[in-house]
Structure 1
């Protein structure tokens, strides 16, 4: 249990460490493979310095790692959904092109710097041909990062504990403002008024009560419908908020923006739910 708690306290560091280690090992393997292929083909000494393949591969990996926040932003954006992935295919292609463009520009800049420091000259070649060649690999890397980050988040949720609603009897009116959830083999009574905000996570809805998170097996639409008589509102396809914890709306009427909570948390506000949120807050 102590190991789980330590992991959950430093989950982002573990994620970054895993991705850095993965791409670093992959870079070393690819670089040594290039040297081995040259030797096997009889091109030895190689037509390039021994350090060059390592610069090529490590510069590429470093840029991919640097783009992790961008990929995480894509997953959390209003336009991305695993459920409607095919309908958002055009967005995926555009994001992957942007991902590749940043990757290639940063990668080439690092290589040119290292080559300059080594007293040599790096030539990327034709940008049109080179970009198409790199994009084929970058599209795969982009999609791989999407899977790794989303899968990692699912693992964290499982370690936090899978919760499920326990139905209360109809003859128990005192419990109407509470729900009973199971987490890590323990039952917790949660006051609905303590729920600050909620987010969709696949087949789960994460209930956020300060620093505590309770994943409940439910859909966002069904959960918000069940909470319709309470002071809750959708702010986004994947987010909902308790009106009691809203401090400010940072978006023009009818436009996308953010909702600022009293605890400093910011939630995305899509223009689809902007008017409804304002109406409920004004009641």
Structure 2
């Protein structure tokens, strides 16, 4: 009997990065094909390769700049509550985006034309750049809008963690400043996750991902905010972007660089920077760890 595996959210999350890269690549390739055919129809007197050269060069440069736009958005999130501070930064970034796009696009076209024994003339730079910028600024913010919608959809499917709020009336049943549980919302339902079940935490842009039994639940907070709410007897910082629950730490693997690699009980490996490695070792009263051996924690 042949068993059929049903594709689930866990399968997607396991291959999330290749899927994301593939979706961006496919979307730009399809756009390139449609735009090339349209440009060829609009310019029937020109050799067929020229409209294709225009659209392919533009799409390739735009695709190459997508990771840059995503990195900028992560560094300066364009949020409603702080749009006055971040919008000017993104407008300046959109100008740089357009300069890189147009400059690279023109360079590729010149190479393509030279290969065909012809010459490409972009025309008056500033006038034509203004025209290109009007298109590029829409592309820039279109990429950001696409990332927003994707994150919202993924959060709804995957689940998003929240800190418990104080009750409207009466004292809280547990300390709000040092929560014992986190509220997780997923597909319109809510459930509680015990803080002691969180295996490790990782900073990711505006969020801190809570890793619980193979799943990541994003919590809209910064590492500095969540650090003050964690139980210091259980959680220890091991990296600028990572906290570890000591109950789930299996061993410390020292590296020649002075850093270390931590292996958790579920097999996950996360980095431990030199800055935090000594403090982690002191928590267990161990002798100094040399690169020649792996020191088990439990």
What is the TM-score with the length of structure 1 in the denominator? 0.66
In the alignment, does 2:110 pair up with 1:112? yes
In the alignment, does 2:119 pair up with 1:121? yes
Q: CA deviation at 1:221?
A: 9.7
Match of 2:47 in 1: 49
Q: List gaps (5 residues or longer) in structure 1.
A: 39-44, 246-259, 267-280
Q: List gaps (5 residues or longer) in structure 2.
A: 1-5, 166-170, 247-259, 263-269, 274-279, 281-298
Counterpart contact for 2:198–2:212, Cα < 8 Å: no
Structure whose residues are more often helix by fraction: 1
Residues 102-132 of structure 1, C-alpha deviation per residue, up to 9 Å, x if partnerless? 1111111111122222222211122222221
- Relative to structure 1, the CA distance from residue 193 to residue 31 in structure 2 (aligned partners, 3 Å threshold; closer, same or farther) is closer
Alignment of 1:22-41 (within 5 A): 22-38=27-43
Match of 1:136 in 2: 134
Match of 2:289 in 1: none
Instruction: Provide the rounded CA distance (Å) in 2 between the counterparts of 1:58 and 1:8.
Output: 31
Instruction: Provide the rounded CA distance (Å) in 2 between the counterparts of 1:261 and 1:125.
Output: 55
Counterpart contact for 1:181–1:190, Cα < 8 Å: no
Counterpart contact for 1:205–1:220, Cα < 8 Å: yes
- The answer to which of 184-193 and 80-89 deviates more is 184-193
- Relative to structure 1, the CA distance from residue 233 to residue 102 in structure 2 (aligned partners, 3 Å threshold; closer, same or farther) is farther
User: Equivalent of 1:89, from 87, 90, 93?
Assistant: 87
Counterpart contact for 1:196–1:209, Cα < 8 Å: no
- SS of 1:191's partner is helix
Question: Would you say how many aligned residue pairs link Structure 1 and Structure 2?
Answer: 241
- The answer to which of 8-17 and 153-162 deviates more is 153-162
Alignment of 1:173-212 (within 5 A): 178-179=180-181, 182=184, 188-191=193-196, 194-199=199-204, 201=206, 206-208=209-211, 212=215
Instruction: Provide the rounded CA distance (Å) in 1 between the counterparts of 2:19 and 2:181.
Output: 33
Residues 123-173 of structure 1, C-alpha deviation per residue, up to 9 Å, x if partnerless? 112222222111111111011111112322333333322445679x97789
Instruction: Provide the rounded CA distance (Å) in 2 between the counterparts of 1:228 and 1:25.
Output: 47
Match of 1:21 in 2: 26
- The answer to which of 177-186 and 55-64 deviates more is 177-186
Match of 2:271 in 1: 264
Instruction: Provide the rounded CA distance (Å) in 2 between the counterparts of 1:171 and 1:150.
Output: 35
Match of 1:64 in 2: 62
Instruction: Provide the rounded CA distance (Å) in 2 between the counterparts of 1:265 and 1:122.
Output: 52
Q: CA deviation at 1:67?
A: 0.7
Instruction: Provide the rounded CA distance (Å) in 1 between the counterparts of 2:210 and 2:198.
Output: 12
Instruction: Provide the rounded CA distance (Å) in 1 between the counterparts of 2:77 and 2:163.
Output: 28
Instruction: Provide the rounded CA distance (Å) in 1 between the counterparts of 2:143 and 2:101.
Output: 13
Alignment of 1:214-253 (within 5 A): 214-216=217-219, 224=226, 227=229, 230=232, 242=243
Instruction: Provide the rounded CA distance (Å) in 1 between the counterparts of 2:88 and 2:172.
Output: 48
Match of 1:151 in 2: 149
In the alignment, does 2:1 pair up with 1:3? no
Computed over aligned residues only, the root mean square deviation of the Cα atoms, in angstroms, reads 4.3
